Structure 1
Amino acid sequence: MLRLPNWRDAYVRGVRVLLRVDFNVPVEGGKVTNDFRLRMTIPTLTELRVRGARLVVASHLGRPKGKRVKSLSLQPVAKALEELLDYPVKFVDDITGEQAYRLSLKLKDGEIMLLQNLRFDEGEERNDDEFARRLARLADTYINDAFGTLHRRHASVCAITKFLPSYAGPLVLKETEVLMRVRTEPDRPLAVVFGGAKVADKIALIRQFLKTADVLIVGGAMAYTFLAAKGVGVGRSRVKKEYLEEAKGTLEEARRIGRVLALPEDHIAASSFSADAEPVLCRREIPNNLLGLDIGPKTVDRFSSLLRGAKMVLWNGPMGVFEWERFSEGTAGIARAIGRLRAYSVICGGDTIAAVERYGNIDRFSYVSTGGGAALQFLQNPYLPGISALLERRNTE
């Protein structure tokens, strides 16, 4: 059990609180197009406001690489947040300069200011102590409620804890509690579903879950590397050749210990990677002139059958190119199947959440994680850089 310093132990009335959040949301045409991560922070912001905190909110957006990029400004995020809160949010086009410092000193109890994109300063991603020191000047207490950033050794996540009393916020506390439960004390049977394209990010985790999960399901583009390792024809589908041997070893290990590791048995393929491409149903193997873009109906039925009876489900990664209507039914089918279960269900990853929101059944899931890469890394090793920084600060106080 991780004993992180709890935000409820922090005295905040009349205190400037630097609240690290994860507002890394899609912005198009100056408007936030998916406000899920903003909505998840509303309870935190509201409670701190009611408790009389003077809030200095900080986040990153995108990858500006230490430079000012107009399209990655947090100004549209401030506007969207203000609408969600129905309360003023003071946006400052500054991070650690005099403008931000003076505004932080003028804050009254319950007021909120949002800093400009942290990554506009190269010191953020370098975990630079001097940048963190300047950031700490804006506040008297620090709360990290950005679980999705805890795997980053960045200044607003790690170095900042050297200069301010530091606490974990409610999202961080809940995420770590839920994921530790999945990792170490799951309800049985435990079913784990992996999809998406990133074999490199998940193959070690698949091997780890061979020891603890009762059922493992692999779909999405990453499944083609496993199918190719079995000698199944996958046509022009995406295969990571450098992981073929590891995938083969994983399949052999699953067979040796009698663990279910299910792969697609049919596919929705096409001749090109295009939303307008004509879908072709392929049974078992994919011809050389086609590439797989979704799992087929037989696979949806089999995966759904394997999920029945599960008491806990972890799902990360879509089953196909769900953004394109013609290749979305596999992901939609798995979302419906998990949503119908009487199980504790956890979903993580931006694409998975976007898919579930698209099909309108997100409320049927027990817990929706705000972290993608952070959640996957936490499941492998809970002591992420941001968590270690909070624990070290607690141990020195």
Structure 2
Amino acid sequence: MKNVNDFNFADKVALIRVDFNVPINQNGEISDETRIQYSIPTIQKILSDGGKVVLISHFGRPKGNNISNYSLKFLIPFLSKKLKVSVKFCEPCIGEKAKREVDQLKNGEVLLLENLRFYKEEEEENEKFGWELSKFGDIYINDAFSVSHRFHSSITVIPKFFKRKCIGFLMKKEIDNFDNFFYGKRKKPITTILGGSKISSKINIIKNLLIFSDYLLIGGGMAYPFIKKKGGNIGNSMTEKYNEKIEKTLESILSMNHPKKQPNMFFFPKDVIAADSFQNHAKTKICPIHNIPNGWRGLDLGPHSIKYFCNIIEKSKTILWNGPLGVFEFSNFSFGTKCIAKKIADVTKKGCFSLVGGGDSIAALKMEKCEKDISYLSTGGGAMLEILKKKTLPGIKAIDI
């Protein structure tokens, strides 16, 4: 599969699908610029060749509506500063005005088009919408790993209209690191940590994880359906509604042993910080995870769980982590997740290979100022989960055809 190093972009327009769907705070400021920062080298390569850049991205979920709060215009000052060029902006991402803006670009210039999701066709894998966007470039580049698991027009349709297409440096780095994780000389013991609240999005990858994991730590909202299935009382702890298929998968997973017939491959929290309501300043107490009183809900790892998980992490040589281990958005219930983040960073400094993905996981590392100690931070949460199912992402397949 070709990457940007395989092309000379002199006098060419590069249409780059990036993912600038970055988190912003209440003041409208970018709170985590990781995705943008990782895309800068690709843009700079085109500019250094003497080419022109047209950037396309989505932001939030406007659901096909032109909503000012979801405009990408707020990125212009930030991008201009990072790229050290005056980045241009065009409000419609398709149409005659956008075409004129692209045609007027000079070598070394950058144009950012408005939010793709202002058009419902983007999320419908619409051929006509993809064709309209394809008019804006000579070479198509996918540098948006984090949305490459989606069948969207800018990911799977646009590449059909290009003979010259490739992946960017961000995408290449993601693929190389996952290849290294799956097929490289990863050292044992291997520990996988799964958190988050939605079991439906992760349960189907667990059997694949069992193939190579020595320890599988399951926390956050992911743990409660398992504990309940094992007969524990989880009180009012949040559990996603799931169907009969997931119910049977839960049962199947719990009945599985290690491929080498070694039991105790799954590890769940021992205790939790339980709260009497779902709010940051709720009344709390420590409870065994299998005995949470009715009216109370587990919102974070308890002290024994933190020590228990950290002891396993301490003896690991390879670590994969996706998802927070508590209600991380509440500061009073983020301690467990931050402790795990710090421990992963500590063992990485001692020679462990660590691969971390998911916004909250990366945010926890940044809160502890240890994100630079991790071997690799993946920009994708959902895309990371799809790769863990050992699937080829649609966005990668579209380039590789």
Is 1:258 paired with 2:256?
no
**TM superposition shift of 1:231:** 1.2
How far apart, CA to CA, are the structure 2 residues paired with 1:275 and 1:298? Answer: 22
Q: 1-side partners of 2:331 and 2:2: how far apart?
A: 45
Q: Which runs of 4+ in 1 moved over 6 A?
A: none
Instruction: Quote the residue 2:165 is aligned against.
Output: 166
- Structure 1 residues 324, 30: CA separation in 2 closer, same or farther (over 3 Å shift)? closer
Contact 1:30 1:71 in 2 (8 A): no
Q: In structure 1, what is the equivalent of residue 337 of structure 2? A: 331
Give the match for residue 51 of structure 1.
49
Residue range with higher mean Cα deviation, 369-378 or 83-92: 83-92
Report 1:180-329 matches (<5 A). Answer: 180-185=179-184, 186-240=186-240, 242=243, 243-254=246-257, 257-258=261-262, 260-284=265-289, 285-329=291-335
Q: Which moved more, 1:13-22 or 1:274-283?
A: 274-283
| Deviations 1:330-385 (CA, angstroms, capped at 9, x unpaired) | 10110011011121101111121122212211111110001110110112133121
Quick check: 1:228–1:239 contact (8 Å CA) kept in 2?
no
Give the % identical residues: 37
Normalised TM-score (structure 2): 0.93
The aligned length equals 389
Q: Which runs of 5+ in 2 are unaligned?
A: none
Measured after TM superposition, the shift of residue 55 of structure 1 is 0.2
Is 1:366 matched up with 2:369? no
1:191, 1:214 within 8 Å by CA — same for their partners in 2? yes
Instruction: Give the deviation of 1:244 after TM superposition.
Output: 4.1
Q: Which amino acid aligns with 1:330?
A: G
Q: In structure 2, what is the Cα distance between the partners aligned to 1:131 and 1:120?
A: 12
Q: Does 1:18 align with 2:15?
A: yes
**Distance in 2 between residues matched to 1:90 and 1:84, nearest whole Å:** 14
Q: Secondary structure at the match of 1:158?
A: helix
State the 1:30 CA deviation: 4.3
The structural deviation recorded for 1:39 is: 1.6
- Residues 70-95 of structure 1 deviation map (CA, whole Å, 9 limit, x = unaligned): 11110012222223333211011121
CA distance in 2, matches of 1:147, 1:187: 26
Q: Is the 8 A contact 1:228 1:244 kept in 2?
A: no
CA contact (8 A) 1:268 1:293 kept: yes
In 1, distance between residues paired with 2:305 and 2:387? 29
Deviates more, 1:364-373 or 1:25-34: 25-34
Give 2:355's aligned residue: 346
Query: 2: distance between equivalents of 1:129 and 1:206?
Result: 35
How far apart, CA to CA, are the structure 1 residues paired with 2:282 and 2:83? 42
The DSSP-based 3-state class of the residue aligned with 2:10 is coil
Cα distance in structure 1, aligned partners of 2:252 and 2:125:
38
SS of equivalent to 1:217: strand
TM-score (norm 1): 0.94
1: CA distance, partners of 2:109 / 2:258: 58
The gaps in structure 1 that reach 5 residues or longer are 393-397
The code of the aligned residue for 1:224 comes to Y
Q: Could you tell me which residue of structure 2 aligns to residue 6 of structure 1? A: 3
The secondary structure found in structure 1 opposite 2:391 is coil
1:44-92 alpha-carbon deviations (Å, 9 max, x no partner): 2222221222000110111222221111110012222223333211011
2:142 to 136, 141, 144: 144
Task: Give how far 1:5 is off.
Answer: 1.9
Answer yes or no: is 1:63 the counterpart of 2:38: no
The letter for the 1-side match of 2:312 is L
C-alpha deviation, 1:112, in angstroms:
0.5
Which letter maps to 1:114? L
CA contact (8 A) 1:127 1:153 kept: yes
2:129 and 2:258 map into 1 onto residues whose CA distance is 51
1:93-146 deviation digits (Å, cap 9, x = unpaired): 121212211121221222111000111122222222221221111111111000
In the alignment, residue 291 of structure 1 is paired with which amino acid?
R
Deviations 1:191-225 (A, max 9, x none): 10000101011111112111211111001111111
Counterpart-to-counterpart distance in 2, 1:110 and 1:213: 47
Shift of 1:273: 0.4
Q: Which is further off, 126-135 or 147-156?
A: 126-135
Question: What corresponds to 1:395 in structure 2?
Answer: none
Which sits farther off after the overlay, 309-318 or 177-186? 177-186
**Amino acid in the other structure paired with 1:172:** M
RMSD: 1.7
Structure 2 CA distance for aligned equivalents of residues 33 and 353 of structure 1? 12
Distance 1:251 1:384 in 2: 29
User: Per-residue displacement from partner, 1:19-58 (whole Å, max 9, x unpaired)?
Assistant: 1100011344544333222122122222222122200011
**2-side partners of 1:83 and 1:297: how far apart?**
44
Whole-angstrom CA distance in 2 between matches of 1:33 and 1:380: 30
Distance in 2 (CA, whole Å) between partners of 1:96 and 1:132 is 10
| Structure 1, 101-110 or 298-307: larger mean CA deviation | 101-110
129, 132, 145: which one aligns with 2:130: 132
* CA distance 1:98–1:29, change in 2 (3 Å): farther
